[in-house]
Structure 1
Amino acid sequence: MSTPASPTGTAAKAGLTLGALGVVFGDIGTSPLYALRECLNYLPPVERATGVLGALSLVFWAMVLVVIGKYLCFVTRADNRGEGGIFALLSLAHGDRTGKIIGGTGALSLLILVGAALLYGDGVITPAISVLGAVEGLNTFDPSLAGKVPFISAFILAGLFAVQFKGTKAIGGIFGPAMLVWFILLGGLGVWHILGAPQVVAALNPLLGTRLLFDHPSEAAALLGSVVLAITGAEALYADMGHFGRKHIARAWYFFAFPGLILNYFGQGARVLANPGDTSHTFFAMVPEGTPRLILTLVSIGAAIIASQAMITGTFSITRQAIQLGFFPRLKINYTNPDQSGQIYLPLVNTMLALGSIYVVLSFGSSEKLVAAYGIAVTGTMVVTSLAFFFVLRRQWKWAAWQAGLLCALFLVVDVPLFASNLHKFADGGWFPVIIAAGLIAVMHTWKRGKDEIFRRIYANEITEDELCNVAGSHHIVRVRGTAVFMAGNPTGTPLVLLHHVKANKVLHETVVLLSVVTEEVPSVGDAERMEVREIGHGYGVWRVIARYGYMETPDVAALMERVGAAGVPVKLNEATYYFNREMVITGGESRMFEWQKHLYSVLSRNARPVRDYYRLPPMQIIEVGLPIQL
């Protein structure tokens, strides 16, 4: 007989479920502000009452097929040691959970980069449309505020991005309870109106949705493009899985988010059926004018801020993963919570997101216009996920080709029409997230290809360990007191900075550590697997240390060296000197890169955060040696 859960365990599970509700479902939770309204905007006013059932049917079945059928039932089961997200999918698609560094820029890696880059476009637009859609509630309270809505929204966004440096620890605790209140409010408003027009439940029939599309073929693409607005944020179920766990995310969806959303959408539809001639805002019209509508607007703004915060912090995490995997230049990373390494702040990324979000709010001016830029990034990422999931099924789960192909084909039957339905938005604003994604793909692909090219031409040809022992034991080399730590890009060779140091100074410290920091295709690495230490030869005082980190971790070499000393290496940390190569890229060589990539890589390399800062080392114990490289 099973024993009942302990209070502590029950409380912990409830806390994780509540946390998932606040972080994971913030984006999709604010979609009722504009999704159904946009669907009905493509129908003639005389057909709103008849068309609303078809629109509701499309929204309901989109949630069932995409959120439940695709993500909760299948994609979220593809976890990499409990972690999800686009880069977790890449490592699983390579068929190895435990060891190899993601290398090269092949078709699969490029596909994942496309998905990751599209998420950045989503990260710019989501805060803008969420806050703008909520603030527009002021229009229904006081029409004279209509011209001020974009500026109020920009002010709220500026404040939101301005406090990001404080981290989510202080405000994260209110996310879950606040969104719980929000979903209860959504459901309550929906039930209130459904009781007045119970015939709205007929929208559960999927034939009504398909009939609406066939009856309005010229508006079918626009209708599907608006339906996508109801499932934006579905990718967050997978991306945030490591924070809360699949079970808790599923509980939050089935018990709170899904019922609240469906009841509200159907409540909006019920109000349209009861008031067929009223073309006002479908969401804010659910409450009477005056104080109730103002309260609903203020609550909506709070929910929009939470939805924006979740997307912002998610973008920070994606960026760190890309840096660790070698797809992005090193950036400054601030840790906002010493107890949670995942709570980080990237100043440059935050600034770019802020400028992008404020720009789209002021340039588009309304959520009705901004939805033209929304959808391409979301549906594009969904298509990428389906394609990459095929490789996970084949290589990780060992499914037969026809089984994997059949399942992913079913996903694409939904994903591709939704993506295609948003392509008409390109000229009206859809170009904006595409331009962002294209720029980021160029940066990530160029950075990865440049690093691979430099490694192939320079670091792969380092001298062997036996040759290094001969150098260390030579009577021409003077051994001096202290510890020298040479950062080695190749965990099997000898770093060039050591050779340059010996050639120039004819000396070598009595203790030499060749330190290689390797990023594994796993989110995090356990303490037992963190470090490998071995002596090269015997009596030469040369040691090789290989430190392994996951793609969701940031190396801390200073802390690592304390463990090296505890492992028996005679290091003197206060006297240790850390040697780095400082790459100085020169274009005009004969590398396999395009000429524009050479120039771009040179700019990125000059502006990347120095390795010494990224590894968090004492600045007074560092020596950099210039390394000219001609690409």
Structure 2
Amino acid sequence: MHQATDLSKPQQAALALAALGVVYGDIGTSPLYTMKEVFAGNHPIPLTPDNILGILSLILWSLIVIVSIKYVVFIMRADNRGEGGIMALIALALHNARGNPRRMRIITVVGLLGAGMFYGDGMVTPAISVLSALEGLQVAAPAFSHVVIPATLLVLFGLFYFQRRGTAAVGVMFGPVMLLWFATLGVLGIYNIAANPGVFRALSPAYGLGFLIENRSLAIVAMGAVVLSVTGAEALYADMGHFGSRPIRQAWFGFVLPSLILNYFGQGALLLAKPAALDNPFYRLAPQWMLYPLVGLATVATVIASQAVISGAFSISRQAMQLGFLPRMEVKFTSEKAQGQVYLPGVNWGLFLAVVILVLGFQSTNNLAAAYGIAVTGDMVITSVLATIIAAKNWGWGWGRAVALFSVFLALELLFLFANVLKIPDGGWFPLAAGALVFLVMITWKRGGQLLTERTSGAAIELDSFIDALLVSMPARVAGNAVFMTSSNERVPNAMLHNLMHNKVLHERVLVVSVKVFDEPYVPEIDRVRICKMKGDFYKVTVQYGFKDEPDIPQALSLCADQGLDIDMMETSFFLGRATLIPRVGSGMALWREKLFIFLFRNAASATGFYKIPSNRVVELGTQVVL
């Protein structure tokens, strides 16, 4: 992570510019549809001057309370060695729960629910963002309305297709493009506010509170739309490791927040003067000559916003794999310099399929807005719950102080969540169902992995006593090194037993290698391997990674030379176990979940590719395991 204190002001400014492109794309494109959804959505609020001012006040103070205070001021303090995001939050919350299995289970389940909600949000964001940008064609040239859906699908296909090339090539343009976008938001806002400066009365929270009190029957519906203005707040925390907290804060307070406020207030001023602009208040801000360039700029901005969400899904998936919550999947690193730039084909095309279904199924941003928000607010509530635990335990605040602060945020977020629950019949079920499916896969994979370990280690032999027995009647030894990969190097790997049973030989040097992933982002290379020399040229090797490290077993084993164990890869064979799983009733997991785990297990990427082991050096030995 970049430490802002070590950087010059120009370097900090460059990081703040880069953060504009990566961090703020989602929240920065919310003005495209938020006011439209409030006053012209499926559940519109009556367009009156008091309602306009009330909604503007609610949007303003939501941005201040949720984004500025909760995320920028407090949540960004909860960094795991500079890294943020839901997986880092889970790791921090678990840190002080060790020794309390019940609390650890609760924190894990809550955190995984948050991860599931992130995926649900990641499906809706590209669909609603790109579609809202191209709906500007309906304003610029109504005759082209019929091309909005095909054009949206074409843009989205291009976006997902080029993910395999990574963002390094075009990422340098993200910051300048979003700088232009936010500048345009501000200028359009000022242009319209100048004709009706009285809209600034909405700066007072009294207008927002007055709206909620006087329109109790509409308040919940309105809050379900207002929450759209803060979607994307999670990105501030999730991308902290890429830029550091200071550049993100500087970009928010110095440019993003003022631009958003000016644009929302500009839309409010326009609606006060011209209620007919209700059909698309964002695009009606611009003069006619500017519409086509604005549609183009908005499309690029929404592509950038979608890119950030997709990259976030890749990052979380990779971290979840490392922590044992998802099966191994193919991971491609798209940059030799930027460690965090990864591409997961399975996740990419799964997201694309979901986005296409959303666009074709909902057809407009008005309909999609009903599906948007519930996953976001669910994620926000879970973040606040985990942050309360971290503040109480990790920061030493105690429960009283932590609960007092975060209950303020939770009160507003629970109101948002309840408002979005009303959207479930209108489409909110889709991200909930998608998030629940991801959550189910995660807990099933984790529990299935535990069961598999129990079944395979129940009759396992202690490695020390096994070596003692071998020394009494040592089998034939052959030249070279044998590496046996296992989940625990305290016991004899099944692959070693099968090799002895069938081949009746051992290599002259035997390494029993296990991989340990810590709940911190990175493990320094100096701590990568731990070696324990045993009798008979046996070695126990523990390879240590953080949840954001790139697993590479040959590279890790090359570091053993510094500790006196020089391993020639050309004289090394890797022995891997290949289990065939058989379900059974009453195994500690429901039969249908067992079958789901077996399906995931069969379709998981091979350990060979995941750990970058040369395929021509691998020997796989199979066994059957009854769960």
Q: Do the two structures share a fold, i.e. TM-score over 0.5?
A: yes
The total of aligned residue pairs comes to 623
CA offsets 1:129-161 (integer angstroms, 9 cap, x no match): 000000000000111122221111011001111
Match of 1:603 among 596, 599, 604: 599
- What is the aligned partner in structure 2 of residue 435 from structure 1? 433
Whole-angstrom distance in 2 between the partners of 1:124 and 1:468: 51
Whole-angstrom distance in 2 between the partners of 1:87 and 1:231: 21
Give yes or no for contact 2:392–2:401 (8 Å, CA) kept in 1: no
Whole-angstrom distance in 2 between the partners of 1:551 and 1:103: 23
- What is the aligned partner in structure 2 of residue 219 from structure 1? 218
Q: Report the more deviating stretch, 37-46 or 602-611.
A: 37-46
CA offsets 1:404-427 (integer angstroms, 9 cap, x no match): 221221121111000000011101
Q: Residues 24 and 103 from structure 1, CA distance in 2 versus in 1: closer, same or farther, beyond 3 angstroms? A: farther
Letter in 1 for 2:454: R
Whole-angstrom distance in 2 between the partners of 1:186 and 1:47: 23
- What is the aligned partner in structure 2 of residue 74 from structure 1? 74
- What is the aligned partner in structure 1 of residue 241 from structure 2? 242
Q: Displacement, 1:568?
A: 1.5
Whole-angstrom distance in 1 between the partners of 2:549 and 2:534: 28
- What is the aligned partner in structure 1 of residue 94 from structure 2? 94
- What is the aligned partner in structure 1 of residue 50 from structure 2? 50
Letter in 2 for 1:610: S
- What is the aligned partner in structure 2 of residue 84 from structure 1? 84
Give yes or no for contact 1:54–1:212 (8 Å, CA) kept in 2: yes
Give yes or no for contact 1:587–1:599 (8 Å, CA) kept in 2: yes
CA offsets 1:211-233 (integer angstroms, 9 cap, x no match): 21222222211110110100000
Q: Residues 531 and 265 from structure 1, CA distance in 2 versus in 1: closer, same or farther, beyond 3 angstroms? A: same
Secondary structure of the structure 1 residue equivalent to 2:472:
coil
Give yes or no for contact 1:511–1:571 (8 Å, CA) kept in 2: no
Whole-angstrom distance in 1 between the partners of 2:45 and 2:600: 53
CA offsets 1:255-289 (integer angstroms, 9 cap, x no match): 11101100111111111122245433111001122
Q: Residues 628 and 270 from structure 1, CA distance in 2 versus in 1: closer, same or farther, beyond 3 angstroms? A: same
Match of 1:591 among 565, 587, 590: 587
Q: How does 1:395-414 map to 2 (within 5 A)?
A: 395-414=393-412
Letter in 2 for 1:581: G
Letter in 1 for 2:587: S
Q: Displacement, 1:209?
A: 1.0
Stretches of structure 1 that go unaligned for 5 or more consecutive residues are none
Q: Displacement, 1:339?
A: 1.4
Give yes or no for contact 1:23–1:175 (8 Å, CA) kept in 2: yes
Q: Residues 91 and 460 from structure 1, CA distance in 2 versus in 1: closer, same or farther, beyond 3 angstroms? A: farther
TM-score calculated relative to the size of structure 1:
0.95
Secondary structure of the structure 2 residue equivalent to 1:571:
coil
Letter in 1 for 2:231: T
Whole-angstrom distance in 2 between the partners of 1:145 and 1:16: 39
Q: Residues 103 and 327 from structure 1, CA distance in 2 versus in 1: closer, same or farther, beyond 3 angstroms? A: farther
Letter in 2 for 1:94: L
Q: Residues 576 and 161 from structure 1, CA distance in 2 versus in 1: closer, same or farther, beyond 3 angstroms? A: same
Letter in 1 for 2:84: G
- What is the aligned partner in structure 1 of residue 357 from structure 2? 359
Q: Report the more deviating stretch, 226-235 or 569-578.
A: 569-578
Secondary structure of the structure 2 residue equivalent to 1:47:
coil
1:257 aligns with 2:256: yes
Whole-angstrom distance in 2 between the partners of 1:513 and 1:277: 75
Secondary structure of the structure 2 residue equivalent to 1:81:
coil
Match of 1:513 among 511, 514, 517: 511
Give yes or no for contact 1:105–1:445 (8 Å, CA) kept in 2: no
Q: Report the more deviating stretch, 297-306 or 146-155.
A: 146-155
Whole-angstrom distance in 1 between the partners of 2:489 and 2:337: 31
Give yes or no for contact 2:36–2:279 (8 Å, CA) kept in 1: no
Whole-angstrom distance in 1 between the partners of 2:574 and 2:205: 65
Whole-angstrom distance in 2 between the partners of 1:278 and 1:84: 40
Give % identity.
Answer: 40
- What is the aligned partner in structure 2 of residue 552 from structure 1? 548
Q: How does 1:247-326 map to 2 (within 5 A)?
A: 247-289=246-288, 291-326=289-324
Whole-angstrom distance in 2 between the partners of 1:488 and 1:352: 31
Secondary structure of the structure 2 residue equivalent to 1:458:
helix
Q: Residues 222 and 486 from structure 1, CA distance in 2 versus in 1: closer, same or farther, beyond 3 angstroms? A: same
Q: Report the more deviating stretch, 333-342 or 466-475.
A: 466-475
Q: How does 1:454-603 map to 2 (within 5 A)?
A: 454-459=452-457, 462-537=460-535, 540-588=536-584, 590-603=586-599
Whole-angstrom distance in 1 between the partners of 2:459 and 2:542: 19
Secondary structure of the structure 2 residue equivalent to 1:401:
helix
Whole-angstrom distance in 2 between the partners of 1:387 and 1:44: 32
- What is the aligned partner in structure 2 of residue 615 from structure 1? 611
Whole-angstrom distance in 1 between the partners of 2:394 and 2:470: 45
Give yes or no for contact 1:95–1:392 (8 Å, CA) kept in 2: no
Q: Displacement, 1:572?
A: 2.5
Whole-angstrom distance in 2 between the partners of 1:348 and 1:9: 40
Give yes or no for contact 1:22–1:179 (8 Å, CA) kept in 2: yes
Give yes or no for contact 1:224–1:418 (8 Å, CA) kept in 2: yes
Stretches of structure 2 that go unaligned for 5 or more consecutive residues are none
Q: How does 1:64-143 map to 2 (within 5 A)?
A: 64-95=64-95, 106-143=105-142
